[in-house]
Amino acid sequence: MTKYCLTVACPTGRGIVAAIATYLSDNGCNITDSSQFDDAQTERFFMRVSFTSQEGVSLAALEEGFAQTAQAFAMTAKFHDEAERMKVVIMVSRFGHCLNDLLYRWRIGALPIDIVAVISNHMDYQKVVVNHDIPFYCIKVTKENKPEAEAEQMRIVRETGAELIVLARYMQVLSDEMCRAMSGRIINIHHSFLPSFKGANPYKQAYERGVKLIGATSHYVTADLDEGPIIEQDTIRVTHAQSPEDYVSLGRDVEAQVLARAIHAHIHRRVFQSGNKTVVFAASPGSYASERMG
């Protein structure tokens, strides 16, 4: 049996869940997992449904037949084949902890994506990327060549068919044009000290202020630097006994985990943007399972 999922966003109203469940049942489908949220503040309704097609109805047929229901409720609705892996481009600079973590999760199947390219403004990780049989592109970025560099990056995104860009500690600010072109399809990771500790050595600044919580934030990239809709966050406790170097090391672990969880939510269509916020549904059973160990 083929596994699909349906994502829906629409104005809140009565009968939405019933209409979706009835349509799927009438077309030989069995719902295996469902999440919904009615945002009273925005009067918007969000839903994600996982289901199996028990009578072999195709994705195209399901989508076509649902058009009337979608129109009746003013829905933005999309059917997805859960077996299809999202194509991802990773961008990285000189901090490799997030990149290496993603490569490992990808290799064991814990993060079911197709990494179609890695782009960097340095050569540090060329060997490790090529050793994974992934195309590596080094594109230097300066104030003078930034438009040309971004044009080359976007060429790679288009030619690979990438649906998502992951900034795995890519230390260049993207232009407003690139942010708009890939709106809702660029995920970033950074420490959660902003706006208190900006600039160089934020972990050292936090250490000097006696910070007791280290955190990381993963969000969609917008033209407003580090202020896009938040997907995932986490923290870890530190004490006076830790050194500045401990802060950095512990911070790297949190960053890698938070970024991986944010990507996992996005590729499984669990994230819905609602203004400058997100609705993030819990993972379906089995979606974290790895294909193999090590």
What band does 84 get if pLDDT is binned at 50, 70 and 90? very high
224 in active site: no
Q: What's residue 122's pLDDT? A: 97
**Which of these is catalytic: 38, 114, 124, 226?**
226
N-terminal to C-terminal alpha carbon distance within the chain: 29
Question: In the 3-class helix/strand/coil scheme, how is 93-105 assigned residue by residue?
Answer: CCCCHHHHHHHHH
pTM of the predicted model as reported, rounded to 2 decimal places: 0.95
**pLDDT tens by residue, 210-224:** 999 999 999 999 988
- The mean per-residue pLDDT over the stretch 76-96 comes to 97
**pLDDT tens by residue, 240-294:** 999 999 999 999 999 999 999 999 999 999 999 998 999 999 999 889 888 786 6
86-280 is classed CATH 3.40.50.170: yes
Q: What's residue 205's pLDDT? A: 87
**pLDDT tens by residue, 40-58:** 999 999 999 999 999 999 9
Domain layout of the chain by residue ranges: 2-81, 86-280
- What is the dotted CATH code of the domain comprising 2-81? 3.30.70.260
Q: What's residue 227's pLDDT? A: 85
